[in-house]
Amino acid sequence: MQAFAFVFPGQGSQSVGMLDAWGDHPVVLEALQEASEALGEDVARLIKDGPKEDLALTTNTQPVMLVAGVAAYRAWMAETGAAPSAVAGHSLGEYSALVAAGVLTLAQAAPLVRFRAQAMQDAVPVGVGAMAAILGLDAAKVIEGCAEVANEFAGVADEVVEAVNFNDPLQTVIAGSKDAVDRACVVLKAKGAKRALPLPVSAPFHSSLMKPAAIRLRERLQAIEFLPTQIPLINNMDVAVELDPDRMRDALYRQAFGPVRWVECIRALKARGLSTVVECGPGKVLLGTFKRIDPELTGIALSDPASLAELKNLFTGAA
């Protein structure tokens, strides 16, 4: 079997009924039960019935995306036993990758990501912060434009805008205070951006405004036991594989208010000889980034039994 990597999506790929296609797959049901017990609520019902507005709440989105990614991964492992050669996750998806790598159990990770979500929402009131996707502009120019706007707002408390998600060479997400983000959208379009799209999020994730949330998260992380890594995990913050639990905790702490270096993460997988990358979980939001980052990469989605069967056939020759 050829070597491959698994990566896990973060917020934005959730949808009501996103696990329906798995039916009564025992491993998926087991993952839902484990998460439900850890959170003290029926996660399966939330995913199946929603409503959409509840699923979109950050405190719900983060746990449900975690369990959905882990469930798909466990279904793959149950049917093939073929572990990836490395894993990574985009933002919240890094927690799914930690479970896949054996560092955290799902029972540990589910309440942890809910705590993370609540801390993030508490850090900046709804409507005060904002995020926007900048399309068609080199990341260096996005950083430059954000710096110019930051200088315009110099001396104004909590008015910041920063590049926070480097999704592909020509797609960078910015975040910060609403006024500064709005101004940056104007500046960046003047610099040549094709589009500047406000994102429907409730907080300026990965910006420095999340530092209060990160401090709370760091305290929570200290109380959680990290198990030895079974699969190399390339983290968002340093684009590094860490084995020391304290360094892993520190990277997760800094990730809460630091940028997601996704382009570099994918290139790091390629540098390890992994030219096939599987997006594991609902949706295909990461799939499109692979070819834009490196045309030689092959991207595949694993989100339901049909795609699992296709993946098995591709890798093993037996559906």
Helix residue ranges per DSSP H, 124-261 = 139-152, 178-190, 211-222, 245-255
Structure tokens given for 245: 């639990």
Asked if 174 and 131 count as a contact pair (C-beta separation under 8 A), the reply is yes
The H or E element that residue 317 is part of is none
Which residue in the list 13, 25, 177, 206 is annotated as catalytic?
206
Structure tokens given for 285: 């939001």
Asked if 126 and 136 count as a contact pair (C-beta separation under 8 A), the reply is no
Which residue in the list 91, 96, 207, 307 is annotated as catalytic?
91
Angstrom distances, CA of residue 252 to CA of 43, 121, 135, 244, 255 = 24, 17, 27, 13, 5
- Residue 1's identity, in one-letter code, is M
**Rounded-to-integer distance, Cα 14 and Cα 80, Å:** 26
The H or E element that residue 224 is part of is none
* 263 half-sphere exposure, CB direction, 13 A CA radius: 17
Tell me, yes or no, if 206 is annotated catalytic. yes
Helix residue ranges per DSSP H, the chain = 26-39, 43-49, 52-55, 58-80, 93-100, 106-123, 139-152, 178-190, 211-222, 245-255, 262-271, 287-293, 305-316
**Rounded-to-integer distance, Cα 123 and Cα 216, Å:** 10
Residues carrying an active site annotation: 91, 206
